[in-house]
Structure 1
Amino acid sequence: MASAQSHPSFPTRPYASTLHGKLPERNTASTFGASSTREAARLERERQERERAQREREAQSQVAAGSSNPLNSLTDEQRDEVNEARIDYHEFKVALKALGFDLPKGELLNLLTTHGIPPDSQQQQGPQVQSSRHALSAPVSPGRLLLTLPAFQTIAATLISQRDPRDEILRAFALFDTDNKGMISLEDLRRVARELGEGLEEDELVAMIEEFDLEGKGGVGRDEFVGICMG
């Protein structure tokens, strides 16, 4: 048998390997940082675009609101005419009643005495000037005093802020209980539903009375009605 011949050895490489059996490492930190920077820039552009669009919508809304308000088309002189509008005792009484305040005559006259001005006086700048002019004018009975728009707004705001919710509820109760029997009966509920155009069935009306008639007296009492409205 022929003797096995050894294979000639491969020549050594004249260069050193740079891999050393490993893949080249990527700089993942710098790659992630660059991606994050691009993403942050994109989000910032989108945010600025949303803010710009929001500002444009708000500006358009303000323009639309301004154009729909007739007061904005008035000159300064015309605005002064509006602000100098005055109401007398009877107009004052009707205006307050429209807001739900049915004040007795004595209270109305007291308010006119405090906030009113004489019919022949010119509106002045500031309450001190008005007071001094009022003092120099001849005495005028409270029933002839007039209220300016700012004075009426002050009175109305004060009354509204002092309004008792229970009083409002009792006024609503009186709209049902027109004959002052102290409770809302099925007939009262039926009448109000008809006046308001509510198409409620008879069994629905009966169920409403039965649900809130805690004492079984055939109607909803005043205290029960207040409890319903105030939760």
Structure 2
Amino acid sequence: MTYEQREELREVFDTIDQTGRGYIPISRVSNVLQALGLEQPSPEDWEQWCARVDFDNTGRIGYETLEEFVSLRYDEMDQKNELVAAFMLFKPGVTDVEKAKITTDDLRRIAAHTGEHIPDEELEEMVRIADLDGTEGVGLDDFMRIMRKTGLF
């Protein structure tokens, strides 16, 4: 986290912790994330995280633990932004990245640009393997999954 992000988190935390006790209710963490412009975790991730940080069921969280969690959310956001930028290399000019799909034609264009000749059958197989949802193309979620699975991100 940057200095500015820590300062903003401290302000939000202190606003919620008006009594100065040094902790806030875990139920208010979603408000913190919203105030910082961060995505909410999935219900499964949220449940796992709460079990890990509130193992004695106090229902509250201290600043340091919250900072660790928020730092992870910022890292995830940064990683997603990098993956979106990489995805956009295949789909330049697209305005709705969530609906865009990388196709065999996109792969052919990139291969030609880099001087590689890859047979159409191989390009089609690449798309078929990556397209788990059967949408005839590699969407952003497919792309992010493949990039993480292969260790490229």
TM-score bracket, normalised by the shorter chain, equals: 0.3 to 0.5
Q: For the pair shown, which has the larger CA radius of gyration, 1 or 2?
A: 1
Name which structure has the greater RCO, CA cutoff 8 Å, separation 6+. 2
